[in-house]
Amino acid sequence: MPVRDTSGIVVCAVGALVTGLLWWGSADLSSGHDPDHPASGLVPPDGQRRFQRDDGGDQVVEEARLTGAELMLTSPPLVGGALKTLLGGDVAHWRIWRSTTTSYTASAEDPEQTTTIRRLTDRGIEHLADYGAFTLVFNPPLLDVPADVRDGSSWSGAGDATTDGEISYAADLAAAAAGDDGCLRITGHVDLREGGQELQDLPIDETWCPGRGVSSAPPAAGPPTFDGSTVPIQADVGTDDVASWRVRSRPPVFADSVAEAADTGDVPSLVLDVRPAAAAGGGLVVANTSGRDVLGLTPAHGALVRAWVGHPGGSVTSLGTSGEVTVTGSTTRDVDAYGPRGGWLWDRRLSDVMVAPPLAVDDDHLVLTSLAGDVEAVDPATGTERWGARMSDQVRVAPASDGTHVVVGDVAGQVSLFTASSGRTRWTVEGRPVQAVGIADGTVVVLAGPHVVGYRLSDGRRLWATSIEGVLDASVVDLGSTVVVATGDETLGLSPATGDARWRADGADDTVTCGDLVAQARGDRLVVRDAEGHPVADLALDGLDGPVDLTSIADGLYATDGHGMSVAVGP
């Protein structure tokens, strides 16, 4: 009797089994699951944004969903530490909902941004803390919404509202149906007392809606018109200035507010995967991978103090500024813009994620790129498209401009020159995958593979080519009569017209222009050179760990490591 061939069945079964097992095995457990009760359905998703009108003017509220570990890494030490100490338990497993409210009428003296931290537990939605204008830490947590909330529910609670127990709270709340879309109106009051004396009796009148969270103020149409500066931040540094440069430690500091940042003690450990950007006012803007936030850091009290936080949603993939406007790209494929105090301004969806820093050409043109090859110039104040184009492949390196033109290179080797004002394609050439581009003295300089190629600005005709060692950490810096091309292995000072090497130096971890000079970080040293390649400063970058990013500001630069530790280099 012939033996039946079962190989097909077995091979198919094994294939199906392995596929199923790998689906099970690779499930993303990091985001966890909210408790399964009616109150959970009221919590908004990460990255949701809404506008509301308050007595003081319009506000924007950004929602973030965090793990307990992320909460600890992104909160002021006084708040995060207090929560951990008071509430204890397995902090890492907490399911956090953070709401950040930013007022558009905030000023540099009163950068009003308030944060509310809530937690989802089997009890329901618990209010853990508020900070910003004032700081409250509720112990036990104030129950905002009970797990089985419904029309007619009522509940109460009492406890301490500050870590030292000087302020206590007592809450009485009730829920009633509001409308047909499942919303609930929660009313009542939270009575705050200090030493047994009434401090404030806060009336509560909030509307909670499924998937939209809570609102206690009438909605606003959107952000007000931005009337700040969008003029790109430029360094104004000459050789003579550098002689007096010193290196000063500027650690990041999270505080309840900038004013109270002096005594916070702990320095948070950030995770910076995206190059920081210079902020107006001499500060920095950084993207903290922990918590997926954008942080505006302002120099104060000998540190870089967190002045505002933005949460565009997804993970931040690129960062840049145009004057007072901060622009972020994220894994949502959206580009979001924030004002100088963290007020959200506009967003714009690209075909794919933006990973190259946006380029501020002038106060009216900001160039965005994407991994799908999008090139879009927008008005930095409004996000309105000025012009658009498409490259052949991913754009991973920062575009460059001379003010009149914009040059963009992609990973397939296409290099295109556009007129900055109109977007007209002046010319396109093909070459090797582009590592860096720049424009110097009438020549478009492209670092591609082991070659540096100069193209005539007017018609794209190849003028010269030369070789360079290395491809990583690539930069092209325009110093007028000299174009500096650098990789991690070699630095060349070239004549833009002929490509002749005027000088050579070691490679660097990062190379940026700083006024009329070029600044290079290599290990724990910062070397600043003039156009002739002469070192005009050689400084130790003490206190930083590993490769650093350099960010030019008006009168110097910052060096920042991957943990957010920074030093300011300047007068």
Among 154, 187, 239, 331, binds another protein (CB under 8 A): 331
Q: Which CB sits closer to another protein, 52 or 466?
A: 466
Q: What's the token pair of residue 414?
A: 């296409």
- Give, rounded to a whole angstrom, the gap between the first and last alpha carbons of the chain: 94
Longest dimension (CA), the chain: 98
**Which segments within 68-221 are labelled E, that is strand?**
95-103, 113-121, 124-131, 136-146, 154-160, 167-177, 184-194, 197-209, 213-215
Part of the chain binding another protein (CB under 8 A), chosen from 165-173, 212-220, 303-311, 368-376 = 368-376
Q: How far is the CB of 323 from another protein (least distance, A)?
A: 25
Among 67, 75, 551, 560, binds another protein (CB under 8 A): 67
Part of the chain binding another protein (CB under 8 A), chosen from 339-347, 438-446, 459-467, 536-544 = 459-467
Q: How far is the CB of 93 from another protein (least distance, A)?
A: 5
Q: What's the token pair of residue 245?
A: 């440069």
Part of the chain binding another protein (CB under 8 A), chosen from 192-200, 276-284, 347-355, 399-407 = 347-355
Among 251, 413, 543, 547, binds another protein (CB under 8 A): 413
Q: How far is the CB of 30 from another protein (least distance, A)?
A: 4
Among 1, 2, 5, 225, binds another protein (CB under 8 A): 5
Among 17, 108, 177, 540, binds another protein (CB under 8 A): 17
How many amino acids of this chain bind another protein (CB under 8 A)? 69
Check binding of 259 to another protein (CB under 8 A).
no
Check binding of 466 to another protein (CB under 8 A).
yes
Check binding of 499 to another protein (CB under 8 A).
yes
Q: Which CB sits closer to another protein, 143 or 285?
A: 285
| One-character DSSP codes across 404-453 | SEEEEE-TTSEEEEEETTT--EEEEEE-SPEEEEEEETTEEEEEETTEEE
- How far apart are the C-alpha atoms of 307 and 292, rounded to whole Å? 16
Q: Which CB sits closer to another protein, 27 or 243?
A: 27
Check binding of 490 to another protein (CB under 8 A).
no
Adjacent-strand bridge partners of 287: 294
Part of the chain binding another protein (CB under 8 A), chosen from 50-58, 163-171, 186-194, 405-413 = 405-413
Site string for another protein, 290-329 (x = CB under 8 A): ------------------------xx-x------------
Check binding of 463 to another protein (CB under 8 A).
yes
Check binding of 425 to another protein (CB under 8 A).
no
Check binding of 417 to another protein (CB under 8 A).
no
Q: How far is the CB of 257 from another protein (least distance, A)?
A: 27
Among 28, 109, 198, 542, binds another protein (CB under 8 A): 28
Check binding of 211 to another protein (CB under 8 A).
no
- How far apart are the C-alpha atoms of 325 and 281, rounded to whole Å? 12
Q: How far is CA 422 from CA 369, 419, 427, in A?
A: 16, 6, 14
Q: How far is the CB of 199 from another protein (least distance, A)?
A: 36
Q: How far is CA 535 from CA 124, 156, 254, 567, in A?
A: 62, 69, 36, 20
Q: What's the token pair of residue 489?
A: 């292995």
Check binding of 36 to another protein (CB under 8 A).
no
- How far apart are the C-alpha atoms of 486 and 132, rounded to whole Å? 44
- How far apart are the C-alpha atoms of 250 and 63, rounded to whole Å? 29
Among 280, 355, 360, 408, binds another protein (CB under 8 A): 355
**Which segments within 323-395 are labelled E, that is strand?**
325-330, 334-338, 344-349, 359-362, 365-369, 374-378, 385-390
Check binding of 69 to another protein (CB under 8 A).
yes
Part of the chain binding another protein (CB under 8 A), chosen from 12-20, 181-189, 231-239, 539-547 = 12-20
Q: Is 422 exposed, middle or buried (0-12, 13-18, 19+ CB in 10 A)?
A: exposed
- How far apart are the C-alpha atoms of 506 and 512, rounded to whole Å? 15
Walk across the sheet containing 49-54 and list its strands: 49-54, 57-67, 95-103, 113-121, 124-131, 136-146, 154-160, 167-177, 184-194, 197-209, 213-215
Check binding of 542 to another protein (CB under 8 A).
no
Q: Which CB sits closer to another protein, 135 or 332?
A: 332
Nearest to residue 32, comparing CAs of 97, 94, 98, 122?
A: 94
- How far apart are the C-alpha atoms of 494 and 467, rounded to whole Å? 11
Q: Which CB sits closer to another protein, 149 or 316?
A: 316
**Residue bearing tokens 């990013």:** 549
- How far apart are the C-alpha atoms of 22 and 11, rounded to whole Å? 16
Interacting residue ranges for another protein, rule: CB under 8 A: 5, 7-8, 10-12, 14-15, 17-19, 21-32, 66-70, 90, 92-93, 273-274, 289, 314-315, 317, 331-333, 351-353, 355, 371-373, 392-394, 396, 410-413, 430-431, 433, 451, 453, 461-467, 472, 499
